[in-house]
Amino acid sequence: MILVLNAGSSSLKVSLYQKDLLDAPKISVQVDSLTTQPVLKIKGESPTPAPSLGVGHEAVLSALLPWFFHTWPIAAIGHRVVHGGVHFADPVRVTPQILDTLETLIPLAPLHQPHNVFPMRWIHDHIPKKKQVACFDTAFHRTQTPLATWFALPRRYHDQGVQRYGFHGLSYQYIAQQLPTITQASRVIVAHLGNGASLCAMKDGKSYDTTMGFSALDGLMMGTRSGSVDAGVILHLLHEKTPDQIQDILYKESGLLGVSGISHDMRTLLESTDPHAGQAVDLYVYRIIRDMGALTAALGGCEAIVFTAGIGENAPVIRQRVCAGFAFAGLVLDEEANARSDVRLHQASSKIEVYCLPTNEESIIAEATAGMV
Ligand code: ADP
């Protein structure tokens, strides 16, 4: 069996897959509030009861992982890793050298990378015989040309790693694998709209450009992240706030939450009658249309749009409003199919195809891990 780990700053998701059945996990465990008061949720059946957990990453891992290893025959562990820098265009077997390289990338993703690397180091130190594979959120975008990855900054910064990397790559890879089963389109824009949100322009199933850049802060408006802001705003805020305070504003207090002042959650905002909720949703949709327009031009046209992740898969009204922005280009939505969240959402006369596909980042990690061990 294959264990898939997705470790964040305050949560941990562990999913167990049967090697010949990688679409859906046999059992998955989510631990929230890891650093304060861990809450464990289990989906699926276990022959033995789950262990009680202490507080903090170390305590949770040292209880949870031995339980998994004693209960099921686990051949390998696949990890979601946010940053692979310029080094990794594919998943990689974890060795001490690889761990060192991944640690050098911490400055590029200080909020996520340490939490991704910690369980790998822990497993390596405590259960050294277990095979581990790292799968990167950046890897799918390594096919982009330099044009898409450069900032117009002095070139020494590019050489120091200040480049546009792009994220959500595991989700985009999953969608890219599904595309040939539903469409012949070559130039496709995929909208991953979850708590984090980005667009990926794909040509023949490969990443051509994307809205997230150096960090997972760039591009679209998100649940609590701002998306692109004029760098001048940051300089302005530096007069009254510290860098840590600005980081919190940009990552945790902005986006749908910041503009609505009500919630980061799209469901709550769509149900609300408060005008600020409406304004947040308007801005969210507008920013998607604007960036889709930019990517359409960058691709030299767009033959298909794919919606995925929490909002993309479950919010017909958001899909409908985004698609309305492309009526000028001949996009004709099938309103009934959209209301049902079918896979195919466009009418036969539409000049742009539209699809809704559920994403499955964890199965991509399980597949890559199974393939490498
Ligand atoms: P994450 O990026 O954390 O994996 P998800 O992909 O689960 O997040 O997306 C979470 C977002 O999806 C939230 O804003 C949530 O409100 C939204 N969402 C989920 N279901 C619906 C729904 N039925 N209608 C509107 N929004 C929804």
Q: What is the DSSP string of 256-299?
A: HHHHHSS-S-HHHHHH---HHHHHHHHHHHHHHHHHHHHHHHHH
The confidence band for 108, taking pLDDT boundaries of 50, 70 and 90, is confident
Query: Taking the C-alpha atoms of 47, 371, 174 and 65 in order, what is their torsion angle to the nearest 10 degrees?
Result: 30
Whether 18 has a pLDDT exceeding 90, the answer reads: yes
Q: Is 314 in the pocket of ligand 1 (CB under 6 A)?
A: yes
Q: Is 32 in the pocket of ligand 1 (CB under 6 A)?
A: no
Give residue 310 CA to ligand 1 midpoint distance, Å.
Answer: 3
CA-proximal residue: ligand 1, atom 19 (nearest): 310
Whether 78 has a pLDDT exceeding 90, the answer reads: yes
Give residue 264 CA to ligand 1 midpoint distance, Å.
Answer: 10
Tens digits of per-residue pLDDT, 215-225?
Answer: 999 999 999 99
Q: Is 191 in the pocket of ligand 1 (CB under 6 A)?
A: no
Q: Average per-residue pLDDT in the chain?
A: 95
Give residue 313 CA to ligand 1 midpoint distance, Å.
Answer: 8
Residue 71's pLDDT is: 93
* Mean pLDDT of the 8-19 span: 90
Q: Is 257 in the pocket of ligand 1 (CB under 6 A)?
A: no
Tens digits of per-residue pLDDT, 276-310?
Answer: 999 999 999 999 999 999 999 999 999 999 999 99
Tens digits of per-residue pLDDT, 358-367?
Answer: 999 999 999 9
- At 27, phi and psi to the nearest 5? -150, 145
* Mean pLDDT of the 124-143 span: 95
Residue 49's pLDDT is: 87
Query: Best of 265, 284, 322 to mutate for ligand 1, by most ligand atoms within 8 A of CB?
Result: 265
SS (H, E, C) 142-172: HHCCHHHHCCCCCHHHHHCCCCCCCCCHHHH
The rounded Cα 265 to chain-centroid distance in angstroms is: 16
* Mean pLDDT of the 81-102 span: 95
Distance CA 151, CA 135 (A): 26
Residue 11's pLDDT is: 86
Tens digits of per-residue pLDDT, 146-174?
Answer: 999 999 999 999 999 999 999 999 999 99
Q: What percent of the chain has pLDDT over 90?
A: 89
The radius of gyration of the chain's CA atoms, rounded to the nearest angstrom, is 21
Taking the CA of residue 264 as reference, the ligand 1 atom at the shortest distance is 14
Residue 214's pLDDT is: 95
The confidence band for 9, taking pLDDT boundaries of 50, 70 and 90, is confident
* DSSP-assigned states of every residue in 309-367: HHHHHH-HHHHHHHHHTTGGGT--B-HHHHHTT-SB-B-TT-SSEEEE----HHHHHHH
| Encoded tokens for 227 | 């998306």
Residue 146's pLDDT is: 95
Which residues sit opposite 197 in a β-bridge?
Answer: 193
Distance CA 286, CA 294 (A): 13
Residue 358's pLDDT is: 96
Q: Is 256 in the pocket of ligand 1 (CB under 6 A)?
A: no
Query: Which of 57, 172, 180, 73 is CA-nearest to residue 123?
Result: 57
* Mean pLDDT of the 95-124 span: 92
The confidence band for 182, taking pLDDT boundaries of 50, 70 and 90, is very high
Residue 111's pLDDT is: 82
Whether 107 has a pLDDT exceeding 90, the answer reads: no
Q: Is 341 in the pocket of ligand 1 (CB under 6 A)?
A: no
Taking the CA of residue 195 as reference, the ligand 1 atom at the shortest distance is 2
Give residue 309 CA to ligand 1 midpoint distance, Å.
Answer: 7
Whether 95 has a pLDDT exceeding 90, the answer reads: yes
Whether 112 has a pLDDT exceeding 90, the answer reads: no
Q: Is 310 in the pocket of ligand 1 (CB under 6 A)?
A: yes
Distance CA 255, CA 225 (A): 5
Contact 21, 44 (CB under 8 A): no
Residue 5's pLDDT is: 96
Residue 212's pLDDT is: 97
Whether 35 has a pLDDT exceeding 90, the answer reads: no
The set of catalytic residues is: 137
The confidence band for 8, taking pLDDT boundaries of 50, 70 and 90, is confident
Domains of the chain with bracketed CATH: 2-141 (3.30.420.40), 183-356 (3.30.420.40)
Tens digits of per-residue pLDDT, 231-275?
Answer: 999 999 999 999 999 999 999 999 999 999 999 999 999 999 999
- Cβ–Cβ contacts within 10 Å for residue 288, how many? 28
Distance CA 132, CA 346 (A): 42
Query: Best of 221, 267, 319, 356 to mutate for ligand 1, by most ligand atoms within 8 A of CB?
Result: 267
* Mean pLDDT of the 313-335 span: 98
Q: Is 212 in the pocket of ligand 1 (CB under 6 A)?
A: no
Contacts of 210 (CB under 8 A, 6+ apart): 141, 144, 148, 164, 166, 167, 168, 172, 198, 199, 200, 201, 219
Taking the CA of residue 197 as reference, the ligand 1 atom at the shortest distance is 2
Q: Is 279 in the pocket of ligand 1 (CB under 6 A)?
A: no
DSSP state of 50: P
CA-proximal residue: ligand 1, atom 22 (nearest): 314
Q: Is 248 in the pocket of ligand 1 (CB under 6 A)?
A: no
Give residue 31 CA to ligand 1 midpoint distance, Å.
Answer: 18
Query: Which of 95, 108, 96 is CA-nearest to residue 137?
Result: 108
Give residue 356 CA to ligand 1 midpoint distance, Å.
Answer: 14
- At 134, phi and psi to the nearest 5? -100, 130
* Mean pLDDT of the 88-114 span: 93
Contact 278, 248 (CB under 8 A): no
CA-proximal residue: ligand 1, atom 13 (nearest): 265
SS3 state of residue 132: strand
Integer CA distances (angstroms), 367 to 178, 278, 370, 371, in order: 14, 41, 5, 6
